[in-house]
Every structure is written in C-alpha cells, then in structure tokens.
Amino acid sequence: MKFLRVTAAAILLMAAGTAMCEAESNPLLGNWMLSGPGYVDRDGNSWCTSIPRLNFTATAETVYAAATKFRPAAQSTTAVHYLVSGNKVFVASEPTFYGAPSYLIVGPGKMMSEDVGHCPFEKK
C-alpha cells in the first residue's frame, strides 16, 4: 500500500513539473486582443471580429465572443493542453492534437490564428 502511495505521489510531481515546463516555454499564455481584420470575404464580412479576445492559461482557454444584434457578448472557458513546436502552438481540449487549432507566433507579443480567418492578435 505504501508503494502505491509513493508511486502516485511521484507521478503527480512529474506531471506538475511537466506542466510548469510547458507553461514556461509556451508563448501563447496570456491575454490577446484582435489587432486587425484578418480575412475579409468578398461581401465585406470579417471572420475575425466575432472573436475579439482570447485568454490562455497553463490549463485553460477562454474565448470571448462579440455581441451581435441577435445575441449578447459571451465567453466560454475550456480545459486545454498545448503542443509548442517552434513558433507554432497547438491548443487541444481532447487527448490528441489531431485537428486542433493552432496559432503562429509572428513576433514579440504578436500571433495569428492558423484556422478560419487567419486572425491577427496582440498580447495585452
């Protein structure tokens, strides 16, 4: 029984250490504000204006949706994990990164979503 407790404690400490290392090396962590229009379709609609703000912590992502004439502004927080690969960061809420959204760090305090809209953001 003592062996199981020691093993469980060791696993928890390793997981905490890994999460701390990931947080230290993850340039996506922080508050981000939309800084430009990104993709605008031929009808003049900007995909990016629907998500004007994002917040990433070591364990969660909060997406802020803009208000429209049909619904008020809203926010949603989801537990996530990250994969940092060079200047690209994948954010997944599932155990796998297959199909996960990704963000490209394009400069100090600047990033761009690599999904619909290619929305540019600045760290605040």
Residue with tokens 């995909």, as numbered in its chain: 47
**Residues 50-53: contacts with CB within 8 Å, 24+ apart?**
51/119
Domain boundaries defined on the chain: 2-123
pLDDT digits (tens, 9 = 90+) for 30-79: 999 999 988 888 888 888 999 999 999 999 999 999 998 899 999 999 99
Least reliable range by pLDDT among 51-65, 79-93, 107-121: 107-121
- Which pLDDT score, from 0 to 100, does residue 87 have? 96
Give the pair of three-digit tokens for residue 13: 């400490």
Alpha carbon 67 to its chain's center:
21
For the chain, how far is it from start to end, CA to CA, in angstroms? 49
pLDDT tier, 23 (very low <50, low <70, confident <90, very high otherwise)? low
- The answer, yes or no, to whether residue 116 has pLDDT greater than 80, is no
For the chain, the average pLDDT equals 84
Phi and psi at residue 109, to the nearest 5° = 70, 20
Identify which of 74, 31, 38 has the alpha carbon closest to the alpha carbon of residue 53: 31
pLDDT of residue 11: 41
Judged against a pLDDT cut of 60, whether residue 10 lies above it is answered with no
- The pLDDT value recorded for residue 119 is 95
pLDDT of residue 13: 39
Task: Give me the CATH topology for the region 2-123.
Answer: Lipocalin (2.40.128)
Q: What is the pLDDT of residue 24?
A: 65
